[in-house]
Chains A and B, each alone.
Chain A
Amino acid sequence: MNLNRHQIAWRVAQDIPGGAYVNLGSGMPILVAEHVPHGREVIFHSENGLLGVGPRQTREPFDRNLINAGNMPVTLLPGGAFFHHGDSFVMVRGGHIDISVLGAYQVAANGDLANWDLPGGRKTPAVGGAMDLAVGAKQVFVMMEYFAKDGSCKILPECTLPLTGQGCVTTIYTDIAVLDLIDGKVILRELIEGISLQTLQAETDLELQVSPRLTLLSPPPL
């Protein structure tokens, strides 16, 4: 069974070590915060000036001056801090963020990322902080479906959409597999039950390498 969004988020969260400074992109990546193993302390950064982002606000009226970068009312954990956008992007661009988790339209074998614009360009483009995070974070984790809605594989020899960053993606977490990008190679690390290596390779537009430690991707029910 393919992983749902929460299960992909759970899988990403397992790979975030205690003590890491982590930025979560809007959409599916924001779910990762809910699945950090109990007792593991991870500090979440939000580019609009928060370190130590806590859970979403639950009690109305919401404090609309305390939001994350996706405009959701959130809380700040004890020890958290507020700062302005200049300092926030010193953290991002200066290499102080350990892991950036981003969504993607396409990822290339060399780590190129496309996640912001469409062919020919949107009329109202929205890049936000994605280009800064792509090149600034020490590691970039991508969360996405393995296949696009039209059935095409989102992991490609080369991106065909406008790039967000070059050679930046380190690991891809999908609904059927986890893959590491190392030296231009796409290395399959985990695969769900029910899909054979042959089938996955046949549906993928580039040659997959198989990790000698290939394991089953089996999340808990979520």
Chain B
Amino acid sequence: MINKILPSAADAVYGVHDGAVILCGGFASCGFADELLEALHAHGARNLTLVANNPEVSERGMVLLLRDQRISKLVCSYSRLEGTALIEDLVEDGMELEIIPQGTLAERVRCAGAGIPGFYTRTGVGTPLALGKEHRDFDGDTFIFEPALRADFAFVRARRGDRWGNLVYDKSARNFNPVMAIGGARTIAQVDEIVGLGELDPEAIITQGIFVQHVVETREP
């Protein structure tokens, strides 16, 4: 019997190695896999690269890893964290920061999951983010090349999941999660509720279990 369900977040992040590249779903303040990120903090892995739209706007999850300097590189579209100088301080202390336009970030991760080495886009042409990138003209417009963004793990947050790893989300907490789920070599899903096989409407499943290796249920206190 296929059973991707693990008993705890600690079990799910056990295999994350120092130096791992981790994709994180989430946008602004919702849809982050806080329990997985906190379990990773407890697990102790260091020198990590986190890929997320933004550092989390809360006191939970990712912020613990950032504060304890477990992150050596942060890849995001929006690095400003209102009300704190945390990211500025970390950059001053040597954390690498890479800024990627939001749509390019999503597409680079999607390409990794889709087996596509990269793509050309008009986004960023003529801006500082195009410096050093291959430029190519198609039909009179200039494009830049953006490579697929590969990662060892993806941490995603979903509303419901089943033992095959099928996932559905909650409103705008879906955001980057389905994209990160296809991009990670090993995808771990934190779900609010595990349901029996067949209880998710096949017409409405957003992330198919083929993209998910582990599922952990974490009920909000």
Contacts and interface: CB of A to CB of B under 8 A. Distances in A.
Given A63-B171, A128-B78, A132-B123, A86 B102 contact: no
Interface stretch (B9-17, B28-36, B42-50): B28-36
Interface in A62-86: 63-71, 76, 82-86
A84 B105 CA distance: 13
Nearest to B28: A71
A124 B177 contact: no
B172 A50 contact: yes
A48 B129 contact: no
Contacts, number: 142
B164 interface: no
Interface stretch (A99-107, A161-169, A207-215): A161-169
Interface residue tally on B, bucketed by range: 35 or more
B171 A86 contact: no
B12 to A, nearest CB: 22
* Chain A residues touching B, majority SS: loop
A113 to B, nearest CB: 10
B135 interface: no
A43 to B, nearest CB: 16
Given A86-B106, A86-B179, A89-B102, 5 more contacts: A127-B102, A128-B77, A129-B102, A136-B103, A136-B123
Interface of A: 46-50, 63-71, 76, 82-86, 88-89, 92-93, 112, 117, 121-132, 135-136, 162-166
